[in-house]
Structure 1
Amino acid sequence: MDPSPLPLPADAPGLRLESALQLLAHSGVALPGGEPGSEAWLQGLVDALVEISSRDALTGLANRRAFELALAREIDRVARSGEPALLLTLDIDHFKRVNDTWGHGAGDQVLRAVAAALVDSVRPMDLVARIGGEEFAIILPNCASAFGETVAERVRRRVEHMPVAVAPGQQLNCTVSIGGAFAPQWVRSTPTLWVERADQQLYLAKAQGRNLVRLEPTAVSVVSNEERRLLFETFQFQDHE
């Protein structure tokens, strides 16, 4: 059943707000407070729409677009401050079996449960995102290399020991494979290169049997030729300022 028509501001005839308000209602997001049509009301509407556009509808995590924006900001912060940052990429092991055996509804239950476990395993300042079907990523700012393995293992164990109800009286356990890479400090890298490094370790974890954590050996990542070029261009720009 369609929801009842929502009130629109009478003093904004040129704005087409019906779709925006219907979207908020269908998404379960609270409508903005205040007088409809007021500046505060319109700002609340914009903020709510931005929030919806940055969230994965199934899990409530940050979506791929929000993840990519956050990753670019973190790359810039690390290059400027030199503080460490860790990127973890994760896959749910044998996820296709869950869908094939129990159905896609059960698969959705597993995705939600894993998402909740990831959020519970990290700090509020860390960003957890769903970036693909059964693929997740976590950006951990200011995470020193001494703690990287501990954090990743905590995430892995939290998922491993979490039973998921997929049908009445039926539970299953799932696991994740995790790869991790630290952003090269004081180096102007790119989000693509950072993800590639983490993914290389993820592929290694999967190749070695899954339900494993594999991180780059040191926080001082090998600087690629492209990163050297970016660093050189940065120095040239500074010299000409």
Structure 2
Amino acid sequence: MNPQALRLDHARALLREAGVALPPPASANDWTEIQAIIDGLCELSARDPLTGLPNRRAFLGRLTQELDRSSRAGEMALLLMIDIDHFKSVNDRYGHLAGDAVLRAVARLLSEQVRPMDTVARLGGEEFGVVFPHCGPTFGALLAERLRAAVAATVMPLPDGQATLQVTVSIGGAYSPAWVRSSVEHWMERADRQLYEAKRQGRNRVCIEPVPVNEVSPEEKDLLFAWHDASGYMIDAADAV
């Protein structure tokens, strides 16, 4: 048997299990179906299998886009790091199936509270991330509190059909710096520090880093747009000196 055919059969099976529809092959070498398989596998690789949310890799790419937007256009975004409080005790007391049910329920609740332009992701374990584009300090704290309150107010049925459970989340947040080059790692580290502070203060609460004040004059903003080389790439300030 052709090894290539075996690999395609395996890819089709993976996509069927994930609920991805594929067109029926018109022939043994139908490139339309092969392209659909490639597209489906790419989508699958960016998705968390338990919750269906974007995974950590996909989320990091989204954060890179928002940092680029902030540095070029001065549009702030809010990054939230969210952790389910005392999640280990859920697994220890009710079992891992119950823990999985809680993770799926929290993922659904978070997704229901955000705008279509926002991104909710599962970063690993009991930790989630949310990024709100075009979000300044006026509304950021309100959005984060809405997520926390939605989880705390929800009674979640467990897989045995008899027990129910309520959990809470701790949330830490940080805004992307406007008109300043930064890194995804530094942005996540700042939000993580606020998450640890929320847990230190007793959990089931929101802590958001104060917005950094960046004094950028209109002339400096013009320079940010003007620093391009002949290929159209942005030149760092250090290289322009």
Could you tell me which of 63, 72, 90 is aligned with 1:98? Answer: 90
Distance 2:137 2:26 in 1: 50
Determine if contact 1:182/1:220 at 8 Å carries over to the other structure.
no
- Which residue in 1 is equivalent to 2:117? 125
Could you tell me which of 166, 171, 176 is aligned with 1:183? Answer: 176
- The verdict on how the C-alpha distance between 1:171 and 1:220 changes in structure 2, with shifts beyond 3 A counting, is farther
Q: Does 1:79 align with 2:71?
A: yes
Code of the residue aligned with 1:169 in structure 2: it is Q
Q: Does 1:30 align with 2:12?
A: no
Code of the residue aligned with 2:162 in structure 1: it is G
Structure 1: gaps of 5 or more residues: 1-9, 222-232
- Which residue in 2 is equivalent to 1:212? 205
- Which residue in 2 is equivalent to 1:114? 106
Code of the residue aligned with 1:199 in structure 2: it is D
Distance 1:144 1:169 in 2: 43
Distance 2:175 2:76 in 1: 7
- Which residue in 2 is equivalent to 1:152? 144
Determine if contact 1:75/1:190 at 8 Å carries over to the other structure.
yes
Determine if contact 1:95/1:134 at 8 Å carries over to the other structure.
yes
- Which residue in 2 is equivalent to 1:235? 237
Determine if contact 2:22/2:33 at 8 Å carries over to the other structure.
no
> TM-score, normalized by length of structure 2?
0.84
- Residue 129 of structure 2 aligns to a residue whose secondary structure is strand
- What is the CA distance between 1:27 and its match in structure 2? 2.0
> TM-score, normalized by length of structure 1?
0.84
Q: Does 1:21 align with 2:12?
A: yes
- What is the CA distance between 1:73 and its match in structure 2? 1.7
Percent identity reads 52
Could you tell me which of 188, 192, 197 is aligned with 2:185? Answer: 192
Q: Does 1:201 align with 2:203?
A: no
Code of the residue aligned with 1:234 in structure 2: it is D
Cα-to-partner distance string for 1:123-161 (whole Å, 9 max, x where unaligned): 111111100100000011111210000000000001011
- Residue 51 of structure 1 aligns to a residue whose secondary structure is helix
- What is the CA distance between 1:34 and its match in structure 2? 6.4
- What is the CA distance between 1:30 and its match in structure 2? 1.3
- Which residue in 1 is equivalent to 2:225? none
- What is the CA distance between 1:14 and its match in structure 2? 8.4
Structure 1 vs Structure 2 CA RMSD: 2.3
- Residue 83 of structure 2 aligns to a residue whose secondary structure is strand
Determine if contact 2:23/2:36 at 8 Å carries over to the other structure.
yes
- Residue 68 of structure 2 aligns to a residue whose secondary structure is helix
- What is the CA distance between 1:74 and its match in structure 2? 1.5
Q: Does 1:143 align with 2:135?
A: yes
- What is the CA distance between 1:15 and its match in structure 2? 9.3
- Which residue in 2 is equivalent to 1:228? none
Code of the residue aligned with 1:206 in structure 2: it is K
